[in-house]
Amino acid sequence: DSGVTQTPKHLITATGQRVTLRCSPRSGDLSVYWYQQSLDQGLQFLIQYYNGEERAKGNILERFSAQQFPDLHSELNLSSLELGDSALYFCASSVVGESGELFFGEGSRLTVL
């Protein structure tokens, strides 16, 4: 158990809909990262937050947004969903930035029909 909790584990929705994925980092970890993993794109970095502030942005679509709350949990909002958004979405946390290891949650599997 990594200590990172992601909900929901599975989500099936229709195109055009909006979903919210939630992540609770390990106790004490200030950094939260979101990654998308699909069969054809591998593991793609979306966005990082550090202590409530956006720290880095990757290949995140404009239809997607995220935030980190004062209690350090994070939410990833996906809107106007398309078939191609079907993927595993992982949250990871770390104490600091690139000098430490990432602890991954078990992911949220999103299926868009």
Question: Which residues sit at the interface with another protein, rule CB under 8 A?
Answer: 2, 4, 33, 35, 42-43, 45, 48, 55-56, 58, 88, 90, 92, 97-99, 101-107, 109
Taking the complex as a whole, the smallest distance from the CB of residue 52 to another protein amounts, in Å, to 16
Minimum CB–partner distance for residue 1 and another protein (Å): 10
Task: Copy the structure tokens of residue 98.
Answer: 């690139």
**Residue closer to another protein, measured from CB, 4 or 110:** 4
Provide the CB-side half-sphere exposure for 6 (13 A, CA).
26
Distance CA 103, CA 3 (A): 8
> Which residues are CB-neighbours of 86 under 8 A, at least 6 positions away?
38, 110, 111, 112
Residue among 15 and 41 whose Cβ is closer to another protein = 41
Q: What type of residue sits at position 80?
A: S
Structure tokens at 29: 């970890």
Min dist. Cβ of residue 4 to another protein (A) = 8
**Nearest distance from residue 92's CB to another protein, in Å?**
8
Tokens representing 73?
Answer: 């949990």
Return the number of the residue (5 or 79) whose C-beta is nearest another protein: 5
